[in-house]
Amino acid sequence: MKGLHGALVRFRIMAWVTGVLLAIMSVVFLPLKYAFGLTEQGILATVYAVGWQAHGWLYVLYVAAGLDISFRMRFSVVRTVAVLLAGTIPFASFFADHYVAKTVDARLATQA
């Protein structure tokens, strides 16, 4: 399939970028905010706000890459929604990346 490898690379990059940022925000900054109240003012408040805004915009790119690979692979609606929602759950995008890469590699191997 023409362009499938490029779509996979784009999706994998966005899955990792989105996943790492979401993990950092969830594991580091949410406890700082709710357990310690350290993100209420100052530089941590700015980093906290910018981090979540960055994740929101990067998630839009993740959805675009996820839809691209899902349409090319002709995933079902349920699989497509699962791949897209993985960008909103900490660490889930890494599992989605593994699943999609394994599925695409299997498809490319059968076509070669």
Sequential pLDDT tens for the chain (112 residues): 678 989 999 999 999 999 999 999 999 999 988 888 777 788 888 899 999 999 999 999 999 999 999 999 999 999 999 999 999 999 999 999 999 999 999 998 998 7
Query: Residue 23 and residue 103: Cα distance in Å, rounded?
Result: 25
pTM: 0.91
The b-or-e profile of 4-25 (16+ CB within 10 A means b, else e) is beebbebbbebbebbbebbeeb
Q: How far apart are CA 59 and CA 66, in angstroms?
A: 10
Total Cβ atoms within 10 A of residue 81: 13
How far apart are alpha carbons 4 and 11 in whole angstroms?
10
